[in-house]
Structure 1
Amino acid sequence: MTTVYRTLELDIISAKDLKDVNLFSQMSVYAIVSILGDPLNPQITTTHIHRHAGRNPTWNIPVKFAVNESLAYYNRLSLEVKLISYRKFLPCSTIGKVRIPLKGLLDNPANAGFQLSYQVRKKRSRKSKGTLNLSYKFGDRFLCSGDNKCDKE
């Protein structure tokens, strides 16, 4: 079975006005970036920790993922960016997360390459915990067979 994939190139730029989850020190923040919904191709990466960033961390980290195009078009895949406050001697705290359906990004190529902002939220909360800034671009299509051999389309 052959599957069509596309490269998703992200730039995790920054976050702004995050809720401060530390009581006694400035937050050091990192992001866990993953593609959800593809059980055969789990993908996850993390940014570096922006130490003592406080409520406005900056990363400018490029990230690449291989996206199963048919799963994305059937609205089965989403991009999740979870923001974490790193603590050396205490457990890390989740500040909030952003979940973006990949179908929306594929359907809207006019936004590709431009900086987009998304509200950071905690689970079941309607209140914003800050803003995440990123840009994206979809690259070329390529075919992968069941034996992990991939070729450009």
Structure 2
Amino acid sequence: MECRRFEINLISASDLKNVREIFKMKVYAVISIMGDSQTEKRTPVDKINETNPVWNFNIKYTVGKKTLQNEEVKLVIKLYCERSLGDRYIGEVQTSIKQLYDHADPDGGSVIRSYPVQRDSATSQGELKLSCSFGETVTIQPPSTWKKILVVGTLDYACGS
């Protein structure tokens, strides 16, 4: 099976809506493919920069070729404010992995993008900045621990590392 290494650096967010009334915002992000918990990664909590968190957090996935060709397979990044009485949802970014791939050089190039943070259908709640790169195509046999993703009637695979 043909795959590519997909590396994301979640750089920062800016001008997020302050969801705390009294205490400081402590923001972290949860990254996944299609919102699937098996592909989920979590950044450390930024306890200093409040509504302008900085993470510089790297995430690596291996994705199948069909994933890179399908507009419907999304990278989902949800932002939360850490609280002792339960974390509060701030908003999220969803972007097609295919769009990221199309903007990057197919032979291992990278791209830096900024996206508006959305909450429900409301207007933008700030901006999220990330960079990503795609490695060379490799042929591998997928381990049984890989998550199968339904891609337009066929199965593809994604694995976080």
Give TM class, smaller chain.
0.7 to 0.9
Between the aligned partners of 2:134 and 2:49, the Cα distance in structure 1 is: 30
Structure 2 unmatched runs, 5+ = 145-161
Count of paired positions:
143
TM-score, normalised by the number of residues in structure 1: 0.84
Give identity over the alignment, percent. 32
Q: Cα–Cα, structure 1 residues 37 and 92, in superposed 2: closer, same or farther, change >3 Å? A: closer
**Structure 1 counterpart of 2:112, which letter?**
Q
Structure 1 unmatched runs, 5+ = 149-153
Structure 1 consecutive aligned stretches of length 4 or more whose deviation exceeds 3 Å: none
Could you give the per-residue CA deviations for residues 84-112 of structure 1, whole angstroms, max 9, x where no partner exists? 00012x111110000010111111225x5
Displacement of 1:75: 2.0
Could you give the per-residue CA deviations for residues 8-41 of structure 1, whole angstroms, max 9, x where no partner exists? 11110000000000111110000001111889xx
Between the aligned partners of 2:63 and 2:142, the Cα distance in structure 1 is: 15
Q: Cα–Cα, structure 1 residues 14 and 75, in superposed 2: closer, same or farther, change >3 Å? A: same
TM-score, normalised by the number of residues in structure 2: 0.80
Between the aligned partners of 1:83 and 1:147, the Cα distance in structure 2 is: 30
Does the 8 Å CA contact 2:26/2:45 hold for their aligned counterparts? yes
Between the aligned partners of 1:146 and 1:118, the Cα distance in structure 2 is: 32
Work out whether 1:107 is the aligned partner of 2:102.
Answer: yes
